[in-house]
Amino acid sequence: MQHQATSRGAGIEPPSAPGPFAYDQLPYPGLPFAQTHPGRLATLAALHGMQPAPPARCRVLELGCGDGGNVIPMACHLPESVFIGVDLSAPAIERGRRIIGEVGLRNIELHAGDIAELGPELGEFDYIIAHGVYSWVPPAIRAKILSIFGDCLAPQGVAFVSYNCYPGSYLRDLTRAMMLFHVRAIPDPQQRTRQASALIHALAQASNENDLYGQLLRSQSERIRTTNPAVLYHDDLDAGATPFFLHQVLEEAARCGLQYLTDAHQPLLDVQDLPEPVAKLLGQIPPEDWVVREQYFDFVSGRWFRDTLLCRHTVELRRPVAADRIRDFYVSAEIVTTETAIDPGKIETAAFKTWAGGTISTDHGLAKAALLHLGSIWPRAIRMKDLAAAAVARLGPAAEGVKQNFDEELEALTAILFRSFCARLVQVEAFPPPLTAGISERPQASLLARKQAEAGNVITDLQHCAIVLEEAICRRLLTLLDGTRTVDQLVTDLTIAVPAADGANGTTGMTAAQPVVSREAVMRNLQLLARCGLLVA
């Protein structure tokens, strides 16, 4: 009786009749993916010695583009480049075309079609993207994706392919198999996701939290709880979804004349941060066996998803990437620690928190000053040489000692920033977007961001990330930032645009009884939008 009560409480129902499975039943959420952006791909290619096409003038193809949520913002923010998206779902393509029409883009085309029917007639592309496709299509289509890379990639081009990978996916497969069995006869997408989630949550609650099985169920239950239902439906509840080891994908890619470049999400491996036995093992693998090295790292980390970058096998890559390579690039970091909490000239270890929750700890004075400067100018990126100069200026009296040994100090700063980049705490860019940390005389956001703010609270920033703006006042302000209004004009127009009902918000400077928008409130929200990477320099 107790077991039955637990099942009913979790909402589990018996299976019903089977039905169709299609992306048109439950659309996959169209979102931007920063790791697929041409700027990111170009940076990683350049770090490895390639000469990639500048993102500002390139040709990009996305296979499996959905409604264009990833490729449309690229086209909007890179107007001199050309973008083509292909997807099998005609309704998704139609939704994307409507957005393209509303924004007035002329450098992008979306086509409803089968990847299997595409060929060299597409032309040559500097960047080809296949995100969230490879693991979810039949073997023939997987082979076709790699064939398109081989046929259409420019000599210095970069191809992006993502997929579920082992060994981490073995843990995911544990719950996938049980969910697929439970919903085997349920056709409705919403019901499938509800029942699949309910099953795993019930099993997790019923398991022993002190044994390995119970811990695995609980970790997967938490993952499923935080997963978008549409993503769960298409990713986990697709019976044909197939994970791969890295070496398996690269063996197939080699048959199409392609070689491994790096991973877009975790591009550089710093063995110094690994336990000594593991670092020793990886350190023994020669550079020419880079794929073997990466495969062993997957074994260590338990990776379950990969964003693999490929290039032509004729390209001579520079491995490993030396730390001083980043001196030719721009650096940025969303440091939330302020100078009021840290004195860079003081000889002590300081911990710098990032917005994402990471920590950079260092006792190096020049590095502390550099991290403080990066936090003050976020989201702007700055060249390494300019960052070093700005850091010296922040040191005050302590700067004299740094100037006397500047080469050594710069080498130490470079090493710290490089390791932080490897740990994904600092961004390195060859082609940074035109962002601003300040408020111009007539603030401007992209037309796409303004249109998105009119429609909802999910906005694509200039770093190609999805930003959620919960506050209605911020979204209303964003819609007015077309570059024609001064701050005072924004105050006036925002006062007209905001109804009294929106006034009960302590952060806006308004009350329900007196819907007055203050200049201070507008400036505060403009600074927030700048920190979110939504204002154009």
Q: Are 159 and 310 in contact (CB under 8 A)?
A: yes
How much is the average pLDDT of 436-453? 93
Tens-digit pLDDT profile for residues 289-344 = 889 989 998 998 899 999 999 999 999 999 889 999 999 999 999 999 776 778 89
The set of residues, in sequence order, having a beta carbon less than 8 Å from that of 340 and lying 6+ positions away, is none
Give the C-alpha separation, 360 to 83, whole Å: 38
- Parallel/antiparallel/unpaired status of strands 427-429 and 305-312: unpaired
Task: Please say if the pLDDT value at position 522 is more than 60.
Answer: yes
Sort 227 into a burial class: Cβ within 10 Å, 0-12 / 13-18 / 19+.
middle
Angle between helical axes of 487-497 and 472-479 (0-180°, round to 10): 120
Q: Rounded mean pLDDT of the chain?
A: 90
**63 strand-pairing partners:** 86
Instruction: List the single range of 101-105, 246-250, 263-267, 511-515 with lowest mean pLDDT.
Output: 511-515
Q: DSSP H helical segments within 165-289, as ranges?
A: 169-182, 189-206, 212-225, 229-231, 246-254, 276-283
C-alpha separations of 59 from 122, 460, 482 in Å: 11, 21, 28
Q: What are the phi and psi torsion angles at 141 (to 5°)?
A: -75, -35
Closest CA to 160 of 45, 331, 329: 45
Tens-digit pLDDT profile for residues 183-240 = 999 999 999 999 999 999 999 999 999 999 999 999 999 999 999 999 999 999 999 9
Q: Are 505 and 524 in contact (CB under 8 A)?
A: no
Closest CA to 168 of 111, 89, 243: 243
Give the C-alpha separation, 505 to 27, whole Å: 34
Q: Which two tokens stand for residue 357?
A: 């929750």
Domain residue spans of the chain: 2-25+169-236, 34-165+243-312, 328-429, 447-531
CATH 3.40.50.150: does it fit domain 34-165+243-312? yes
Tens-digit pLDDT profile for residues 165-182 = 999 999 999 999 999 999
Q: Which amino acid is at 42?
A: A
Query: What number of other Cβ atoms are within 10 A of residue 23's Cβ?
Result: 19
Q: Which amino acid is at 208?
A: N
Closest CA to 196 of 172, 164, 212: 172
**432 strand-pairing partners:** none
Tens-digit pLDDT profile for residues 75-133 = 999 999 999 999 999 999 999 999 999 999 999 999 999 999 998 989 999 999 999 99
